[in-house]
Amino acid sequence: MIVSQRELWTGRLLLVVLMAVTVMPFVSLFVTALHPAGTYPSGLEWPESPQWSNFARAFEAADMGRLLVSSVLIELGVVPLALLIATLAGFALGHLRAPGGRVIFIAFVLGLTLPFEGIIIPLYYQMRDLGLLNTRWAIILPLLGLFMPFAVFWMRAHFVNVPPDISEAARIDGATTWQLFWRIHVPLSTPALSSLAILLFLWTWNQFLLAVVLVDDPSQRTMAGALGAFQGQWGTDIPLLCAGSLLIHADAADLPRLPAPVRHGAAAGLGQGMTAPAGLSRLPRPPFDPELEAVLLARRDEVVTTLTAEEIPGLRRRSATADALAPLLEDGTWTSSVHVVPGAARGPDVRLVLLRPVDAPTAAPCLYHLHGGGLVTGSAYDDLAVAAQLAARAGCAVASVDYRLAPEHPFPAAVEDAYAGLVWLADAAPGLGLDPTRLVVGGISAGGGLAAATALLARDRGGPPLLGQLLVCPMLDDRDGSPSAEQMRGAGAWDADANATAWRAYLGDRYGGEDVPAHAAPARATDLTGLPPAFLDVGSAETFRDEVVAYAERIWLAGGRAELHVWPGGFHGFDALVPDAAVSRDARRARLRWLARVLS
């Protein structure tokens, strides 16, 4: 065939144009990925200072290390099984010419016309009824069915074109149908199987819709699901989204061929993602305070980041005992007593630990303290040293209550114990050398949430009057849907997964539902009027940040008094882990000023 020079150059020009059209989106992705995170670049402008670290940040933000493992597991569940079924079906339809095979083949061809998006809702209900939602099987099983029309069509096309003489010769030699399939046709179908395997692998790897709709747990999704990490409620981080897209589409074989800065950034992200996985569907995480972060990394084993129900017993072994009182009593500053007081109706008695300053006036004010521990662990002696230090400087006593723990004692056990102890303390105050008119309820973490719930209960039942509520990084909302909860998933202390475990233990089937009462989760309260003045503080880099800020705003909207502090770079419970950090000292001083002002 003779081709003119004009035709030759026209063909080459068209190929160059097609190549440019194909490559330009990837060039655009690459250039945009190098812009500073949080910006909105346009066009193909090369940034003044390329942010190669965006690749590491994208890897960590999307938790790609964990998703890589999840994707491999899904691939192992889909590709081998799909190849096996398609090969068997293709052999039966294309070579054996089974009765009714033409009708079955037409059904498979019609399956190719079925729009995938049109059956996603029926698939959701089917997976729900099978109890497979939020598992990898919710991705694997639908993909097997969805791939079958094309896979069977592909393999049948191969077997139809195999010369029948090969099978006839094998039959003459005594081969059975199975031997004919396994020893003759499967080896001959290696090219078709290899091509189909590549297609199925890529389609499974890039599966996004099924992963997002049928699986809520980010760790059970595919790599493509990582793209949701850069889109939050309030916006999308375009540079990190582009960096993540490039990493997702660059498999292990491509990594060595990437530019060195990208390769090094991805490797750094892999190390960070495997040791401290971050959440998936969130905005970029706010930074930790440098002083706090150094200690957080050095004492990682002491920090509870995530928590499962099976880990609760082990966590309880870390709870403080009565021995924690010894250092407080050594210098003779405090006198201590333990009281077993009547609990709620049909409930057991409640134990209170009381610390009273030796040099306190006859009727001392009292901080009614509720310990932390996610409602599932802890004792009256937990956080007591911190509360006593604050109380000593404010000139008041401390009473700490040993409330019942979930899941053995779900709602309303803890808040009823807290309220029963408060009622007894107010009634017995004169005999204990306390002033019943100067009581402040307070707590840390879950104890802060219980303190807020106790204040609501005292208001609603006409209980003891309170001077204030001291809510330190309080656990207020069971719904876990805030941006800060998603931002801090897998990072810092007490992430959204740990929080969900605790709330499930406390609320049972009510968790996350519409009927959760305000006395269980104070953020559910619709009326925040008539409450005592509140002090609320929280770290900027912790799960509870947004729900604490929202609670303070709602108190203000209800005409109440609230003092709010958001400590920059603070993770959950930062001042207990790093008491000497500058931000920790500032937090303790702010609490002391508020408490002294309220008591005065």
The catalytic residue positions are: 445, 542, 572
Q: Do residues 336 and 271 share a domain?
A: no
| DSSP assignments along 176-226, one per residue | -HHHIIIIIIHHHTHHHHHHHHHHHHHHHHT--HHHHHH---GGGS-GGGG
CATH number of domain containing 581: 3.40.50.1820
- Of 114-123, 415-424, 578-587, least confident by mean pLDDT is 114-123
Structure-block tokens of residue 113? 């016309």
Burial class (CB in 10 A: 0-12, 13-18, 19+), 442: buried
Q: Please give the pLDDT value at position 207.
A: 82
More confident residue, 118 or 515: 515
Are 65 and 126 members of one domain? yes
Same domain (yes/no): 268, 369: no
Strand-pair category, 468-472 with 434-444: parallel
* % the chain with pLDDT above 70: 90
* Single-letter amino acid, residue 98: A
Among 354-363, 399-408, 577-586, name the one with the lowest average pLDDT.
354-363
The total of other beta-carbon atoms located within 10 Å of residue 224's CB is: 21
Q: Distance of alpha carbon 162 from its chain centroid, rounded?
A: 52
With a cut of 80, say whether residue 191 has pLDDT above it.
yes
Shared domain check, 481 and 389: yes
Highest mean pLDDT out of 202-206, 383-387, 468-472: 468-472
- Whether residues 140 and 74 share a domain: the answer is yes
Helix, strand, coil content of the chain in percent (nearest 5): 55, 10, 35
Is residue 99 assigned to a domain? yes
Residue 3: the pLDDT is: 62
Q: What's the pLDDT band for 58 if we cut at 50, 70, 90?
A: confident
Q: Given CA atoms 53, 488, 271, 226 in this order, what sign does their dihedral have? A: negative
Q: Looking at the structure, do residues 230 and 325 belong to the same domain, yes or no?
A: no
Tens of pLDDT, residue by residue over 331-378, are 888 889 999 999 988 889 999 999 998 887 778 999 999 999 999 999
Q: Of 227, 230, 245, 269, which is closest to residue 39 (Cα–Cα)?
A: 230
SS3 52: coil
Contact 537, 590 (CB under 8 A): yes
Residues 394 and 483 in one domain: yes
Lowest mean per-residue pLDDT among 155-159, 276-280, 510-514, 520-524: 276-280
pLDDT at 580: 93
> pLDDT at position 234, please?
37
pLDDT level of residue 40 (50, 70, 90 thresholds): low
Express each pLDDT in 145-163 by its tens digit. Answer: 888 888 888 888 888 888 8
pLDDT at residue number 481: 77
- Specify the higher pLDDT residue, 111 or 563: 563
Q: Which of 79, 100, 85, 97 is nearest to 155 (CA)?
A: 85
Average pLDDT over residues 119-142: 86
Cβ atoms 213, 120 nearer than 8 A: yes
- 107-116 mean pLDDT: 76
Q: Measure the CA angle with vertex 71, ends 481 and 504; round to 5°.
A: 30
591 token code pair: 């609490």
- Sign, CA dihedral 4-9-12-14, equals negative
Within a domain: residue 54? Answer: yes
Neighbours of 180 (CB within 10 A): 18
Would residue 293 count as lying in a domain?
no
Q: Output the six-digit token pair for 362.
A: 């006859």
pLDDT tens for 94-109 read 877 777 777 887 887 7
Res. 142: pLDDT tops 80:
yes
Dihedral sign of CA atoms 377, 379, 382, 387 in order:
positive
pTM (global) more than 0.85: no
More confident residue, 575 or 121: 575
523 to each of 325, 444, 472, how far by Cα in Å? 34, 16, 15
Overall average pLDDT of the 459-484 stretch: 93
Helices 137-160, 190-205: axis angle to 10 degrees equals: 150
Per-residue pLDDT band for 228 (boundaries 50, 70, 90) equals low
Number of domains in the chain: 2
Contacts of 259 (CB under 8 A, 6+ apart): none
Is a pLDDT exceeding 60 seen at residue 232? no
Residue 140 covered by a domain: yes
CA nearest to 587, candidates 560, 559, 561, 568: 568
Instruction: Write the pLDDT tens digit of every residue in 436-450.
Output: 999 999 999 999 999
Q: Give the pairing type, strands 364-370 and 434-444.
A: parallel
Residue 287 has pLDDT above 60, yes or no: yes
Same domain, residue pair 260 and 380: no
Which of the two residues, 461 and 230, has the higher pLDDT score? Answer: 461
Residues 116 and 234 in one domain: yes
Strand 334-341: give its sheet, edge to edge. Answer: 334-341, 350-357, 397-402, 364-370, 434-444, 468-472, 534-539, 562-567
Cβ contact 533:468 at 8 Å? yes
Tell whether 259 is covered by a domain. yes
Q: What pLDDT shows up at residue 554?
A: 95
Rounded to an integer, what is the distance from CA 240 to the centroid of its chain?
19
Q: Quick check: is 79 in a domain?
A: yes
212 and 346, same structural domain? Answer: no
196 and 89 inside one domain? yes
The range of the structural domain enclosing residue 585 comes to: 312-599
Higher pLDDT among residues 27 and 111, named by residue: 27
What is the spatial distance between Cα 222 and Cα 118, in angstroms, rounded to a whole number?
21
The CA-atom distances, in angstroms, between 508 and each of 204, 314, 477, 505 are 36, 21, 15, 6
Q: At what angle do helices 53-61 and 64-91 cross, to 10 degrees?
A: 70
454 in a structural domain? yes
Shared domain for 398 and 527, answered yes or no, is yes
What is the average pLDDT across 549-560?
95
- 423 vs 432: CA distance, rounded Å: 14
- Confirm whether 31 is domain-assigned: no
What pLDDT, on the 0 to 100 scale, is given for residue 1?
A: 54
Domain CATH number, residue 71: 1.10.3720.10
**DSSP H helical segments within 207-317, as ranges?**
209-214, 238-249, 260-275, 290-298, 312-316
Weakest mean pLDDT among 123-127, 357-361, 475-479, 537-541: 357-361
Q: What is the mean pLDDT of the chain?
A: 84
pLDDT band of residue 227 (cuts 50, 70, 90) is low
